[in-house]
């Protein structure tokens, strides 16, 4: 990579691959979730992630490149960790807490990626791309907040299991 534009392109491709991986993970999280609010939030995030992918496709098109061609090892690891979190969790609240931590890790990846891409887009002087990235960054922030609100209730329920068995 010789310049910021090259770095921007590679990062868009990595982010696109990450979003695709997260999109494949979310139906597993949805199926495993027992809390209705959590299930609703995951459903919304599936729709939003499809929108993130479309936005990244637009960003790539406007930037003159394809969004594919890179493997995001970070996202691969996050998905593998999510699969591990889902394994062996038997109680609804505990499993839901594991789902939330996995979902929030993905949201935090998105906040980092879109925040960085947004800053670079501003520097590169493309307002149309900047607007697309800003929307995705905001969406990831809203999703993180939604998961945090749900976690407060679920964590209390999961913690009460410790008290009940002690």
DSSP, residue by residue, 98-166 = HHHHHHHHHHHHHHHHHHHHHHHHHHHT-HHHHHHHHHHHHHHHHHHHHHHHHHHHHHHHHHHHHHHH-
**Per-residue pLDDT for 13 more than 70?**
yes
Exposure string over 84-94, b if 16+ CB within 10 A, otherwise e: ebbeebeebbb
Nearest to 74 by CA among 131, 42, 113: 113
Distance CA(38)–CA(6), nearest Å, equals 38
Residues 106, 25: contact at Cβ < 8 Å?
Answer: yes
Residues 75, 52: contact at Cβ < 8 Å?
Answer: no
Distance CA(63)–CA(126), nearest Å, equals 9
Q: What H or E segment, with its residue span, contains residue 93? A: helix 92-124
**Per-residue pLDDT for 72 more than 60?**
yes
The predicted-structure confidence for 101-119, as pLDDT tens digits, reads as follows 999 999 999 999 999 999 9
Q: What average pLDDT does the structure give for the chain?
A: 93
Domains delineated in the chain = 4-159 (1.20.1260.10)
The pTM score is 0.92
pLDDT in the model for residue 161: 64
Distance CA(24)–CA(75), nearest Å, equals 11
**Per-residue pLDDT for 99 more than 70?**
yes
% of the chain surpassing 90 pLDDT: 84
């Amino acid at each position: 990579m010789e310049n910021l534009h090259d770095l921007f392109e590679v990062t868009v491709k990595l982010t696109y691959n990450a979003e695709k991986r997260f999109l494949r993970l979310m139906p597993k999280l949805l199926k495993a979730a027992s809390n209705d609010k959590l299930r609703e939030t995951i459903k919304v995030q599936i729709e939003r992630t499809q929108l993130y992918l479309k936005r990244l496709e637009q960003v790539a098109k406007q930037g003159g490149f394809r969004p594919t061609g890179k493997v995001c090892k970070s996202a691969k690891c996050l998905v593998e960790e999510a699969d591990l979190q889902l394994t062996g969790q038997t109680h609804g609240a505990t499993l839901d807490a594991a789902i939330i931590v996995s979902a929030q890790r993905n949201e935090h990846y998105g906040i980092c990626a879109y925040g960085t891409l947004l800053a670079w887009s501003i520097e590169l002087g493309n307002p149309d791309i900047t607007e697309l990235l800003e929307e995705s960054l905001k969406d990831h922030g809203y999703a993180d907040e939604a998961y945090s609100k749900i976690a407060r209730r679920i964590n209390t329920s999961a913690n009460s299991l410790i008290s009940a068995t002690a």
